[in-house]
A and B are shown apart, each in its own frame.
Chain A
C-alpha cells in the first residue's frame, strides 16, 4: 500500500527551508575546497615553466576551470527546494580535487592536496547522496518522494 512516511525520507514542511540552507552551505563549502585545490595546482604548475607549457597540464587546469565555473553558476542560480545543488557540486568538487591532485608535484603541495581530499570526503552532506538521488529522481518523475513503499 502506498502512503506517506516523512520519517523514512526525512521530509517535513518545516524542515524544508532549514534543510535547503544546510545543503547550500554544504555546496558552498565543497566549492571552496575545490577552489583551493585549483589554486594550489595552478600555483604548483606555474612555478615550473616547462610543465606549464605542456598540453596535459593546460588541459587539466582548463577542465577544472570549466567545472568550477559551472558549479559557481549553479550555486548562484538554483531551485532552493531541490537537492540538486549539493548533489551536483559534491560530485564535481571531487572531480576537481582529483584533477588537481594529478597535477601537483611539490611535496608540500601534495601533502596539502591530501588534506583537501580528506576534508572533502569527510564533509558529511545534510542528505546522503543516495537519498538525494532518490528524491531528485522521484521529483523529476512526478512521484511523491515521501510516499511508501519507496520503490515498486
Chain B
C-alpha cells in the first residue's frame, strides 16, 4: 500500500474479489499501484472472470468505461478499479431508513407497551448494513457522513424512537472511534462491518451525565485492567455484541485519568442490576449494570489514557448532532401525524375536518415554525467546520445546538398534544409515545444547565473551569 496516503474507498472490496479469483495472492501484497496484468498476473481469461464477478456483486458498476480507458492508457491499476467500485454500490442510508421505517413503526407500540427490546429491528439494521453506515469504506462499511447519518436517523426516529436512539449510540460512537484511526479503529470497524453492534456506557449513578468523571475504577494488572463500578442508562445493552465504556485509572499524582475501553461483551464481570423500565424511550433496554472485577485486556483500551475528554470534544458533532437528529425526527413525525389526523377528524358539532379550525391552524403553524427552526439549526451544525483547533468552543457550539433543537422538538410535540385534544393521551395514539420519548431529548447529555453555564462564561470571558465556579 502506498505510504502516506489513505487507501482508496472500494479497495477492501476489490481485494476480496481479487483474492477470491486468485487464492494464492496475499492481500498485503496488493498495492494500489499494482497493475492487474503486469504485477498480479491476470491474463485475459482472469480479467473476464473478474469482470463477471464484479458485475454480480456491483451490478451498477460501469466496467465498460473502465476497460475502454485501460486499453487506451494501458493503466490497469488496482487503484483505478477500486475507485470505480467506490463510486458504485453505495448504499443510500436515508432510502434504507425509509424502507425499514414502516415495519419499525408497526412494532413500536408493542415494544413500548412491553418495554421489550426490539431485537428484530436490530437484526434488520445489521442485515441491511445500516449498522455499518459509519464504518469507513476501506474497512467494508458505508462511509456515511454526518449529514447522511442525521437524515437517516431522523427517518428511523419518526418510526420508532427507541430503535433509532439505540442504534444511534452505535453509529455515532463508531464514527468517533473511526476518526481516531490506527489499529484501535481498524479492528472495531472491521468487526462492525461483520455485524458487531456497540452499546456505550459513560453515565454512572454517582456522576449523572458528567461522563468525563467516571467513578468506575480501572486498576492496572498484568496484561490489562480490572474494572469495578456501576453504569446507568446503558442504551442498547440487550442487543449489543460489544461494549464501549469509561473507567478511570489513577496517575502518579493520585489524579483520575479517564479511559475508554471497547471489548466484546464479556460473559462474566458485568451484571444487570436494573432492567430499563421508564416513562419514555421504553424499548431502548437502557439497563443499569454492576461491573464486578471485570478483567479487560490491555488491547481493548481505546486512545491514550487521560485523553477521553479531548477525544470526545473533537468528535462531539457526531454525538450531539445525531442525538438532536433523533429528537427532530420525533417532532417531524408528530407534526405529520397531527396534520393527518386533523385533516381526517370531523366533530359532529363542527361538521368539517378540524383542520379548518383557526385554533388548530395557529397551533400547527407554531409547530411547523419551531420544527423548521430546529431542522435549520441542526443542518447548520452538521455542515459547520468540524476541524477546529478550539475543541472547547466547538463543544459549546454543538451543545447549544443540541439544547435548542431538543427544546424546540419538545415544544413541537407538546403543541401537537394540545391540537389533538384528549384523544392524544390514549395509548392507541402514537403521539402519546412520541410525547414521552421526546422528553428524553431534554435529559440526555449535555446537561442543559452545564451548557448554559459554559456558553455564558465563554461569551462573558469568564474562565470556564475556574474555582469557585460562581461569585457569591
The digit string for A121-144, where 1 denotes a CB below 8 A from any CB of B, is 000000000001111111111110
Interface stretch, picked from A15-23, A75-83, A107-115, is A75-83
Give how many A-B residue pairs fall within 8 Å (CB-CB).
153
Q: 8 Å CB contacts to A: which residues of B431-472?
A: 449, 451-457, 459-462, 470-472
- Nearest chain B CB to A43 CB, angstrom units: 10
Q: Which residues of B contact A42 (CB under 8 A)?
A: 459-460
Is the CB–CB distance between B365 and A140 below 8 Å? yes
Is the CB–CB distance between B365 and A61 below 8 Å? no
Interface stretch, picked from B97-105, B168-176, B376-384, is B376-384
Q: Which residues of B contact A72 (CB under 8 A)?
A: 380
> In the complex where A88-B370, A137-B362, A152-B351 touch, is A62 in contact with B343 (Cβ < 8 A)?
no
Q: Which residues of B contact A59 (CB under 8 A)?
A: 449, 452-453, 456
Is the CB–CB distance between B339 and A140 below 8 Å? yes
- Nearest chain B CB to A100 CB, angstrom units: 12
The residue of chain B having its C-beta at the shortest distance from the C-beta of A132 within the complex is B365
Interface: A116 (CB within 8 A): no
Is the CB–CB distance between B376 and A58 below 8 Å? no
Q: Which residues of A contact B460 (CB under 8 A)?
A: 42, 45-46, 52, 57-58, 61
Is the CB–CB distance between B403 and A76 below 8 Å? no
Is the CB–CB distance between A137 and B372 below 8 Å? no
Is the CB–CB distance between B404 and A66 below 8 Å? yes
Interface: A1 (CB within 8 A): no
Is the CB–CB distance between B470 and A53 below 8 Å? yes
Q: Which residues of B contact A4 (CB under 8 A)?
A: none
Is the CB–CB distance between B364 and A141 below 8 Å? yes
- Nearest chain A CB to B292 CB, angstrom units: 39
Number of chain B residues close to chain A: CB under 8 A: 51
Interface stretch, picked from B26-34, B275-283, B352-360, B386-394, is B352-360
Is the CB–CB distance between A65 and B459 below 8 Å? yes
> In the complex where A50-B471, A72-B380 touch, is A133 in contact with B365 (Cβ < 8 A)?
yes
Interface: A7 (CB within 8 A): no
- Nearest chain B CB to A12 CB, angstrom units: 21
CA distance A132 to B372 in the complex (A): 15
Is the CB–CB distance between A66 and B360 below 8 Å? no
Q: Which residues of A contact B472 (CB under 8 A)?
A: 50, 53-54
Q: Of B368, B369, B400, B470, which contacts A62 at CB under 8 A?
A: B400
> In the complex where A42-B460, A45-B460, A77-B380 touch, is A66 in contact with B363 (Cβ < 8 A)?
no
The digit string for A17-32, where 1 denotes a CB below 8 A from any CB of B, is 0000000000000000
Q: 8 Å CB contacts to A: which residues of B324-377?
A: 335, 339, 342-343, 350-352, 355-358, 360-370, 372-374, 376-377
Is the CB–CB distance between A141 and B361 below 8 Å? yes
The digit string for A59-102, where 1 denotes a CB below 8 A from any CB of B, is 11111011101111110111100101001100110000000000
Q: Of B356, B361, B380, B456, which contacts A73 at CB under 8 A?
A: B380
Is the CB–CB distance between B456 and A61 below 8 Å? yes
Q: Which residues of A contact B381 (CB under 8 A)?
A: 73
- Nearest chain A CB to B294 CB, angstrom units: 39
The digit string for B394-408, where 1 denotes a CB below 8 A from any CB of A, is 000100110110001
Q: Which residues of A contact B365 (CB under 8 A)?
A: 87, 132-137, 140
Is the CB–CB distance between A137 and B360 below 8 Å? yes
Is the CB–CB distance between A151 and B357 below 8 Å? yes
Is the CB–CB distance between A55 and B470 below 8 Å? yes
Is the CB–CB distance between B471 and A54 below 8 Å? yes
Is the CB–CB distance between A136 and B343 below 8 Å? no
CA distance A136 to B400 in the complex (A): 27
Q: Which residues of B contact A67 (CB under 8 A)?
A: 404
- Nearest chain A CB to B105 CB, angstrom units: 21
CA distance A42 to B456 in the complex (A): 9
Is the CB–CB distance between B355 and A152 below 8 Å? no
Q: Which residues of A contact B456 (CB under 8 A)?
A: 55, 57-62, 65
CA distance A88 to B374 in the complex (A): 11
CA distance A46 to B461 in the complex (A): 7
CA distance A140 to B415 in the complex (A): 14
> In the complex where A54-B471, A58-B462, A137-B363 touch, is A73 in contact with B377 (Cβ < 8 A)?
yes
Is the CB–CB distance between B453 and A88 below 8 Å? no
CA distance A43 to B455 in the complex (A): 15
The residue of chain B having its C-beta at the shortest distance from the C-beta of A136 within the complex is B365
A-B contacts besides A53-B462, A57-B456, A141-B360, 7 pairs, CB < 8 Å: A58-B457, A61-B459, A66-B455, A69-B400, A136-B369, A143-B361, A152-B352
29 sample A-B contacts, Cβ–Cβ < 8 Å, listed by A number: A46-B460, A46-B461, A51-B471, A52-B461, A55-B470, A57-B460, A58-B452, A58-B453, A58-B462, A59-B453, A59-B456, A60-B456, A65-B400, A66-B400, A66-B403, A69-B397, A69-B401, A78-B376, A88-B369, A88-B370, A91-B369, A92-B373, A133-B365, A133-B366, A136-B368, A137-B362, A137-B368, A140-B335, A152-B350
Chain B residues proximal to chain A, CB less than 8 Å: 335, 339, 342-343, 350-352, 355-358, 360-370, 372-374, 376-377, 379-381, 397, 400-401, 403-404, 408, 449, 451-457, 459-462, 470-472
Closest 9 CB pairs of A and B: A58-B456, A137-B361, A53-B471, A137-B365, A73-B380, A62-B455, A136-B365, A62-B452, A62-B456
Chain A residues proximal to chain B, CB less than 8 Å: 42, 45-46, 49-55, 57-63, 65-67, 69-74, 76-79, 82, 84, 87-88, 91-92, 132-143, 151-152
